[in-house]
Amino acid sequence: MNYLDAVILGIVEGLTEFLPVSSTGHLTIAEKLLGLDVADPAVTAYTAVIQMGAIAAVIVYFFQDIWNIARAWVLGLFKAEYRGQLDHRMGWYVIVGTIPVGLAGLLLKDLITGDLRSLWVVAFGLIGWSAVMWFAERVGRQDRGERDLGLKDALAVGFLQVVSLIPGVSRSGATISAGLFRGLDRVTATRLSFFMSIPALVAAGLFELKDLHGSHIGVGPVLVGTFVSFLVAYAAVAWLLKFVAGHSIAWFVPYRLALGALLLVLLATGTMSAT
């Protein structure tokens, strides 16, 4: 992997990590187009590690919110007056909601980094989950805000986050859809999606670091890809929050369907290999 590859993959990661279009799917496609071996454990690890740049962007963007949540959660462990506050409860919601995807990631690691890396899976994931996103927008009442959040909401979002381990589904697409199904408004569902992404993606990146150590991918491309993903993701986070305030996530469905259909044609004709 050269530095140009690292910049391209960093841009793709930053643009797609938080948009409901599947960053893993786009990275897999980009890696194939760049001639990289998507089955190589080092390439899979690289994909996970540069996600930490995108997560750093979320931490910087929401720093005050994250600080308030962390502070209230810790203080609430010792002082009862903090336990009813939204920030304290949000800390528990993020923790509880992250458990399902953490367990699934550990138990299904070989499947996730193996057979699920196929572009056939990406294509069907893009197309199939588009229907779920469209349906979530149609049936979601969107009459509940952040102060209405409860443990059931966190669990619903957390369990659907597990589905996002399938390339093509999209972690943000799954978690925002879950929030809409629970009646949350789009901004609340999106913010909860951002907060829940932090522990899940940081853990995935740290876990995969071992596969990069001593691999053919040098430290330089890793740092460049991570830094580029940070810059691009910061802009993407700011844009998405403004977008969902007045637009349906179903706006992303035509793009997902078109990309999924194009992939199916390229795979079926042998123009592109699945792995």
pLDDT at 107: 86
Low-confidence ranges of the chain (pLDDT < 70): 214
Single-letter residue type at 177: S
pLDDT at 115: 76
Residue 203 tokens, joined: 């853990």
